Amino acid sequence: MKYEKKRYILVHYEIRDDHKELEREMKARVKDLFGAIGLQSMDLRLINIETNFFILRCNHKHVDGLLFTLSSMKFKGFSFLPLRVSGTIKKLKTVMANFVQI
Amino acid sequence: MDLHLDLTDEFERTIRMAKFLGFSTLGLDLEKSYDLKEKVTSICRKEKVKCIFRANVNEFNRSKALKEDVIYIARNVNEARSTNIPFYLLEAGNDIDEVLGVKEFCARRSNINFVIEFDFALLRLYDGFSFANYMKGLTKLMNVCRRRHIVTIFSSRAKNLDELVPPRTLYIFYKILGGYLTRREILYEIPNREIIEKLDLGPKVFGRSE
């Protein structure tokens, strides 16, 4: 089986909320924009939630689609701000630490 | 370059954040809080971000004089028709009817002394069929702009820190609308050449054909 490359996206989000509902809303928006086949091939997963941040994982070929989806949606009146795309979670944690200083 | 931020509060944090995302120039709409102009300018200078201010074309109609560091905006086709300003930005429209109105305006106007601005924030208002409909309208407008060589710029129209849109996402928006130019051209070179450099040279340069 061919190994599928992944990308991790660090997203800034003001409030901490129920992650299951958050994931469901994101998947609904992806399905709305790209359809069920788009959602399946994107392989979207919520990896990590911290205060004001969460990390998403997706297939590397669909990063642009996911970035567009995140920026063009609202969840409970708040928007998402995708900060950085990386191939490793470790790098994103460094970015998160730098961002907290801002 | 993000030439449309409707900031109402959290100026400092939002400007710092825009710099973190990679923007070098910001266009700030301070229509409701114009007395804060000096404060915002000093924040931008401190953060080493260039800022220009946006004003409505009606302001030009009232004062009959161009101000430096200000770009004039027509919010709809009626404002664009009634103004005699040498150069202005025309917003693409909040809904499909307005977008199609702007499209007709672009297709018929003989004197092209305006730039079309596509705002990302409006996409958050739509979902499902309404989203598809709105995007279809924007794509039609984009095709007319390309055919008639009208300059297009892409901005976020962020009201606060969270509504900022990273440069990469603005470029994705442009690609979805059928664009083929590079990211650097769309987000830096074209707005810089068509708007910022003209502002630097002074208001008299506006309206000259190239």
Quote the ipTM score. 0.89
* Amino acid type, A71: S
End-to-end CA distance of chain B: 23
Q: Is residue A16 a part of any domain in this protein?
A: yes
Q: What is the pLDDT of residue B208?
A: 46
Give me chain B's average pLDDT, please.
Answer: 83
Position B210 pLDDT exceeds 50: no
Q: Is residue A100 a part of any domain in this protein?
A: no
Q: Is residue A41 a part of any domain in this protein?
A: yes
Q: Is residue A101 a part of any domain in this protein?
A: no
Which H helix or E strand runs over A79?
strand A78-79
Q: What is the pLDDT of residue B2?
A: 76
Q: What is the CATH number of the domain that holds A29?
A: 3.30.70.3250
Identify the closest residue of chain A to B122 by CA–CA distance. A72
The answer to whether B79 and B57 are in contact (CB under 8 A) is yes
Integer angstrom CA distances of residue B164 from B6, B71, B126, B130: 11, 20, 18, 23
Q: What is the pLDDT of residue B144?
A: 93
Q: Is residue B101 a part of any domain in this protein?
A: yes
Position B69 pLDDT exceeds 80: no
Q: What is the pLDDT of residue B158?
A: 85
Contact B128 A80 (CB under 8 A): no
Q: What is the CATH number of the domain that holds B102?
A: 3.20.20.140
Q: For chain A, list residues whose CB is within 8 angstroms of any CB belonging to chain B.
A: 12-14, 29, 32-33, 64, 67-68, 71-74, 78-83, 85, 99, 102
Q: What is the pLDDT of residue B143?
A: 93
Which range marks the domain in which residue A14 is found? 6-92
Contact A81 B128 (CB under 8 A): no
Contact A68 B124 (CB under 8 A): no
Q: What is the pLDDT of residue A23?
A: 87
Q: Is residue B93 a part of any domain in this protein?
A: yes
Which range marks the domain in which residue B184 is found? 54-203
For the beta carbon of residue B25, count every other beta carbon within 10 angstroms: 18
Position B162 pLDDT exceeds 90: no
Please give the model's pTM, rounded to 2 decimal places: 0.89
Q: Is residue B103 a part of any domain in this protein?
A: yes
Buried b (16+ CB within 10 A) or exposed e, B37-47: eeebeebbeee
> In which band, very low, low, confident or very high, does the pLDDT at B27 lie, cut at 50, 70 and 90?
confident
Size (chain B), residues: 210
- Select from A10, A79, A96, A102 the residue whose CB has the most chain B CBs within 10 Å, as the one to mutate to test that interface: A79
Residues of B with Cβ-Cβ distance to A32 under 8 angstroms: 127-128, 131
The answer to whether B106 and B150 are in contact (CB under 8 A) is yes
What average pLDDT does the segment B63-89 reach? 80
> In which band, very low, low, confident or very high, does the pLDDT at B32 lie, cut at 50, 70 and 90?
low
The dihedral formed by the CA atoms of B199, B200, B203 and B206, expressed in degrees to the nearest 10: -60
Q: What is the pLDDT of residue B206?
A: 55
Quick one: tokens of B182?
């590079």
Identify the closest residue of chain A to B22 by CA–CA distance. A83
Q: What is the pLDDT of residue B182?
A: 82
Percent of chain B past pLDDT 70, that is, above it, reads 87
Number of domains, chain B:
1
Q: What is the pLDDT of residue B173?
A: 92
Q: For chain B, list residues whose CB is within 8 angstroms of any CB belonging to chain A.
A: 13, 16-17, 20-21, 120, 123-124, 127-128, 131, 161-166, 168-169, 172-173, 175-176
3-class SS of residue B174:
helix
Number of domains, chain A:
1
Identify the closest residue of chain B to A74 by CA–CA distance. B124
Residues of B with Cβ-Cβ distance to A99 under 8 angstroms: 20
* Predicted confidence (pLDDT) per residue in A61-86, tens digit: 999 999 999 999 888 888 888 999 99
* Predicted confidence (pLDDT) per residue in A7-66, tens digit: 999 998 877 667 788 889 899 999 989 999 999 999 999 887 788 888 999 999 999 999
CA distance B117 to B127: 21
**Between vectors from CA B173 to CA A35 and to CA B16, what angle results, nearest 5°?**
120
Q: Which among A13, A79, A102 is the nearest to B20, CB-wise? A: A102
Contacts 24+ apart (CB under 8 A), A14-19: A14/A52, A14/A78, A14/B162, A15/A76, A15/A78, A16/A49, A16/A51, A16/A52, A17/A75, A17/A76, A19/A46, A19/A49, A19/A54
For the beta carbon of residue A87, count every other beta carbon within 10 angstroms: 12
